[in-house]
A and B are shown apart, each in its own frame.
Chain A
Amino acid sequence: MIEHIIDNLAQRRDVVRVAVSDREGLLIASLPGSVRAGTPTDAEITDDLWNAFIAQFASNVSLHLKNLTLSRPLEMVIHGTADDLLIVWLNVGWLIARVTSTADWPTLWTTVRTIRNEFDALTGESS
């Protein structure tokens, strides 16, 4: 079911990888994107590595934001020289996508917001 919802994102021509975690950062779904690995070592990044990264990063970020009196982040974008990273709060967990540096951001956001609505409908949660 979850894979079905995030499939639209994975199928985009600017997405390298998509994952969904629960609130604590435990990986619950992961799909390869339609773009092949963005960098030579990307192919070596396993689900376990994603899992570990997501759990740690989500927890660290939440701590800093609390101390900045900024409430839970809804959307994060990190620009890298190889690819960019998009992390979105889904009310029940996190959606994480690695996208190419030439991503089409306006339509990418549209896809992501549709996914958030579908998750809200599925879980009965909403912001």
Chain B
Amino acid sequence: MAVSVSRRIAALQSAASAERWDEFADAMRAWAEEEPDNPWVQAGLVVAEAAQGNAQADAAERVRLLDARLADQIALLVDLRAGRRSEACGTITRELAFGNREPALMDAYRWVEPGLAEPVKYFFSTPHLVAGCVLSDGQITSMAAKGSRMSADSLGHHSSQMWSDILKLAKRIDIGIPHSAQVVGKDGAWVLTAASDEPSRLVTALVAVGAQAEEAAARAQAISMEPEAAHD
């Protein structure tokens, strides 16, 4: 007989609070095996395995740094099960902003946020968006500009240049393959996200000052993680 969700969550919470990461990952793995199609369970498994890997590689102190994310992940499981979409959406956005590119997390995002069925349209409706564009090989495939500060065309051009600088930088100082960048200034924020399988496919946004750049980043990531280049 299948273990109840509340018992699973209780077991996860107990393992996490005692910092027994092997036990945490085992519980998560068992759940994921039983429900392989549950995207949020798969997303939780990624964080669990990261915690376990860290525990083996380093002292408990580094694992402590993952505590907040694990607590978030448990809350996410609970919120998704309970159908609390807006709470779940906030947690997913934060986790995406951490740079977690796990596809299952994106599946969960699509599940809680029906607007993502049309990712480009949803991206252009990001609150406080000044301009946004989707590029492939330096050519703009979709764009929108809402402010008078600049054109999406100009944003596209400078984003391509900036991304080329970031690729050079990553090669020189070895941070692996870069997949996103956020630049926050006094009067706005600039967000770039690249498709992992095709770094020339870029999604880019300029958002107004005071706006949550994470929101734009998460929505941009939804486009860049689409298997095919997104078009309007």
- Assess the B186–A13 pair: CB atoms within 8 A: no
Cα-based distance from A98 to B158 in the complex (angstroms): 24
- Assess the A81–B179 pair: CB atoms within 8 A: yes
Min CB gap A14→B, angstroms: 6
- Assess the A70–B54 pair: CB atoms within 8 A: no
Tell me which of A21-29, A41-49, A110-118 binds B: A41-49
B35 within 8 A of A: no
A76 within 8 A of B: yes
A92 within 8 A of B: no
| B50, B65, B66, B166 — most chain A CB neighbours (10 Å) | B65
How many positions in chain A have a CB within 8 Å of any CB in the partner chain? 45
- Assess the A13–B174 pair: CB atoms within 8 A: no
How does the 8 Å CB contact mask read for A67-80 relative to B, with 1 for contact and 0 for none? 11111111111111
List residues of chain B with CB within 8 A of the CB of A41. 174
- Assess the A73–B183 pair: CB atoms within 8 A: yes
Min CB gap B177→A, angstroms: 5
For the residues of B in contact with A, the DSSP-based class is mixed
- Assess the A81–B183 pair: CB atoms within 8 A: no
The one of A68, A81, A106 that contacts B177, using a Cβ cutoff of 8 Å: A81
Q: Size band of the B side of the interface?
A: 35 or more
Cα-based distance from A67 to B188 in the complex (angstroms): 13
The one of B68, B150, B169 that contacts A68, using a Cβ cutoff of 8 Å: B150
Cα-based distance from A67 to B99 in the complex (angstroms): 27
List residues of chain B with CB within 8 A of the CB of A105. 98
A85 within 8 A of B: yes
B149 within 8 A of A: yes
Q: Given the interface contacts A101-B99, A104-B65, A104-B68, does A79 sit within 8 Å of B188 by beta carbon?
A: no
List residues of chain A with CB within 8 A of the CB of B190. 65, 68, 70
List residues of chain A with CB within 8 A of the CB of B166. 78
- Assess the A78–B181 pair: CB atoms within 8 A: yes
List residues of chain B with CB within 8 A of the CB of A67. 154, 158
What residue in chain B is nearest A103 (Cβ atoms)? B65
Cα-based distance from A35 to B183 in the complex (angstroms): 25
Give residues in A with beta carbon < 8 Å to B: 13-14, 35, 38-39, 41-42, 45, 49-50, 52-53, 57, 60-61, 64-65, 67-85, 98, 101-107, 127
